[in-house]
Structure 1
Amino acid sequence: MTATAHINAIGTAVPPHQVHDAFVAFVRSALREPAHLRLFDRMVSRSGIDRRFSFIEPEVLPDGQLTDRERFYGLGDWPSTAERMARYERDAPALALQAVRALSPDIAAEGITHLVMASCTGFVAPGLDQLLVAQTGIDPAVERTVVGFMGCYAAVNALRLAHHIVRSEPEARVLVVNLELCTIHFQRTQDLEKLLSMLLFGDGAAAALVTAEPRGVALTDFRSAAIAGSAEAITWRIGDQGFDMHLDGRVPSFIANALRAERSRNDDQGIFRDLAPEDYDLWAVHAGGRTILDAVERALELPSAALGPSRDVLRRYGNMSSATLMFVLAAMIESHAGAAPQDDEGDLRKGNGKGKGIAMAFGPGLAAESFRFTMVPR
């Protein structure tokens, strides 16, 4: 019998400084067009975000100008890509270690056999995977894989790798780490679309243990889908002053239309696997932004509470790119720890166990990555 991979536990971490309010204040002070300022204020109020975190500590100067204590985003030229990568190399290992320690105080004692590291906001070699092994005492012979530059849906791709590893090696103990420092890529610009994109993003990391042990979240199967005609809707390109994100305002409508088509299609090759949305009890949706969550909810006619975990993560942390979905799953593991045992896979169609779920995330392509899961009570 083929082993089933389970996310046994997830540890999460964010940097120490809350920067959402400072970013909003900075943009408000910099926008020169009154119409742009009014629109920005309206979008801030509707963003669904209260806090975002960074290693960059805001500072207000005596003359009222807003910068940060280390002048990373100073009053003169903003940092080059090389300077931003130096910042990533300095701060990313510490955040990765914080997330791993939240998962387990002694991860080396967990007998980790494989390490999957996902990140799209920085590059360094030796890589974060190697640095983390050295910091934690994990066996240096651990099998390492890096998922790089895939964007927000990389959490699904990293979990897919862990899923396949455990299915082929039932004794495997896979550490999956998603880490993003989105705030090192803010751009100085008057382009309102870019500013509204930057309004979404914060920093965070998650570490998950994936094994065949039947506890936590049982991973069922994975599916990918590309959305036709949307290849340039989300792009993430490396420029001279950091990584430049483009997020087309049509992304929510692209997603909504694609999900409506999947719902109508309703065959065993689609995202919903010949089931209706109402057959699923739980929805772990990447909290890419309020408009994206609204688009998913409307397109699938979900009850208002269905995306509660995703909206809560968005409110508390913003969009942390690939780490975000893992925060949503961590909240679900915590809230379902005492749930009653669920039906087996053959009874998924019943949708009656409050533990049958589907997860999905969207990113460059425009593409959707998804998987089905079952909550396993402690």
Structure 2
Amino acid sequence: MPVPAFLHAVGTACPPHDVHQDFLAYAPALLASERERALFARMAERSGIAHRFSPLTAAEGFYVPGAFPSTAARMRRYAAESLPLALAALAELGRKLGRDWREGVTHLILVSCTGFEAPGLDQRLIAAAGLDPRLERTVVGFMGCNAAFHALKLARHIVRSEPASRVLVLNLELCTLHFQETASLEQALCFMLFADGCSAALVGAEPRGLELERFRQETLPDGEDLITWRIGDDGFDMRLSGQVPGAILRHLPAHLRALDAPGAALWAIHPGGRSILDAVQLALELPEAAMAPSRAVLHDHGNMSSATVMFVLARLLAAAGQGRRGVALGFGPGVGVESLAFREAG
């Protein structure tokens, strides 16, 4: 039988500037009517978000009314900001694993859907972090908020086929580089959710942390246009429909039954927004305690796309017990639903 694979630890990092209040002050000026401005304020108050972080500041002039940056300018900023953020997450991972954590790392999986460059962050990170330049590299790109599941799934496959492997999984997103100048209330509310962050995780066969037991993925019917992420001339264009919570509510119970994870005591739900968390809680009849880690990450960081569920798993690892079972859930373009059944190492 293949050996089991374990998520040993997760280090997390965010850029230095909390921009949430600045955005709440700025966005209403883009809206056309007093009614829309009042609705935006009401939704912001109910969002469950208090902080969102970015490398940008309101004073630096990256976003100038009437002259927002091109996609090329945003990619240049991505290249400048991604490596320092990745190194900060690796430093936090090192504090959790010890100074010798780099020894024996065989693979790097880089996940990002908010920037492109070549040579890429994966190559620059290997050199800057003192990793073995011969390790195997894989990039998981442009898969959206549930991309962390694809990376963990791949890491599990690697460890199960090559038990001596130690796989570094890095999720890095700079969503605030893609703010658009828009008069659309729906888009303004979408931009209010997204933020920047990075996670660095290590997966291996040593039995500690969380065992990655089973994965399941499904594309919901008639959901192709509900979550989209496309490259435009003025940055990447995100659409997050208000119909997403309803789709989750209808289809999630059957998806979870197919995952076959009875008795889950731990829940790591991607905090795509308060309405999405509410829909998951209602669909699965979960107690508020089960939602607490995901709601806390949403409150403290907003939606950092693919990195967000890793921040939730980091909180669960910090309070790990003995042998409890859990489920992680994520939602992305399509609408794609990704799930993971896991168990604490006992």
User: Is the pair's TM-score, using the shorter chain for normalization, greater than 0.5?
Assistant: yes
Select between 175-184 and 74-83 the one with higher mean Cα deviation. 74-83
Asked if the contact 2:74–2:177 (Cα under 8 Å) also holds between the matched residues in 1, the reply is yes
- Give the match for residue 316 of structure 2: 332
Distance 1:153 1:307 in 2: 18
Secondary structure at the counterpart of residue 316 of structure 1: helix
Q: Which residue of 2 is the match for residue 374 of structure 1?
A: 343
Residue aligning to 1:17 = 17
Partners of 2:14 and 2:196 within 8 A in 1:
yes
3-state SS of the aligned residue for 1:40?
helix
Flag as ranges the 4+ runs of structure 1 deviating above 4 A: 105-108
Deviation at 1:110, TM superposition (A): 2.7
Question: Deviation per CA, 1:13-54, whole angstroms, max 9, x where unpaired?
Answer: 000000000001001233230110111011001100000000
Q: In the alignment, residue 309 of structure 1 is paired with which amino acid?
A: P
- The alignment partner of 1:221 has SS state of strand
Give the distance between the partners of 1:110 and 1:180, measured in 2 at CA.
Answer: 26
TM-score, normalization: structure 2? 0.96
Residues 134, 148 of structure 1: alpha-carbon distance in 2 compared, 3 angstrom cutoff = same
| 1:47 is the counterpart of 2:43 | no
2:74 paired residue among 79, 84, 101? 84
- Which of 54, 59, 73 does residue 63 from structure 2 map onto? 73
Q: Give the RMSD, CA atoms, in angstroms.
A: 1.3
For 1:186 and 1:328, locate their aligned partners in 2 and report how far apart those are by CA, in whole Å. 25
Which segment drifts farther, 94-103 or 174-183?
A: 94-103
1:142 counterpart residue number: 135
SS of structure 2 residue aligned to 1:256: helix
1:8 aligns with 2:11: no
Asked if the contact 2:264–2:326 (Cα under 8 Å) also holds between the matched residues in 1, the reply is yes
1:79-135 deviations in Å (ceiling 9; x for gaps): 000000000000011111110111016577332100000000000111111010010
Cα 1:244–1:29 change in 2 (3 A) is same
Question: What letter matches 2:88 in structure 1?
Answer: Q
Q: CA deviation at 1:375?
A: 1.4
Q: CA deviation at 1:260?
A: 3.4
For 2:290, which of 306, 311, 331 is the aligned residue?
306
Cα drift, residue 314 of structure 1: 0.2
CA–CA distance in structure 1, aligned partners of residues 227 and 28 of structure 2: 25
Unaligned runs of 5+ in 2: none
What is the TM-score when the length of structure 1 is the normalising length?
A: 0.88
In structure 1, the residue corresponding to 2:289 is in which secondary structure? coil
Tell me how many residue pairs correspond in the alignment.
Answer: 343
In structure 1, C-alpha distance between the alignment counterparts of 2:254 and 2:130, rounded to whole Å: 48
Measure, in 2, the Cα distance between the counterparts of 1:296 and 1:141: 42
For residue 3 of structure 1, report the CA deviation from its aligned partner: 1.1
After superposition, the Cα gap between the structure-2 partners of 1:109 and 1:306, relative to the gap in structure 1 and judged at 3 Å, is closer
Q: State the identity as a percent.
A: 53
C-alpha separation between the residues in 2 aligned to 1:176 and 1:160? 11
Q: CA deviation at 1:149?
A: 0.1
1:99 and 2:89 matched? yes
Does the CA-based 8 Å contact 2:20-2:53 persist in structure 1? yes
Counterpart of 2:56?
Answer: 56
Q: Is the 8 A contact 1:5 1:166 kept in 2?
A: yes
The answer to whether 1:126 aligns with 2:119 is yes
The answer (yes or no) to whether the contact 2:198–2:307 under 8 Å persists in 1 is yes
Distance (whole Å) between structure 1 residues aligned to residue 154 and residue 343 of structure 2: 18
Q: Show the 5 A alignment for 1:1-378.
A: 1-58=1-58, 68-69=59-60, 71-104=61-94, 106=99, 109-262=102-255, 266=257, 270-271=258-259, 273=260, 276=262, 279-336=263-320, 339=321, 341-342=322-323, 355-376=324-345
Q: Which one has a bigger Cα radius of gyration?
A: 1
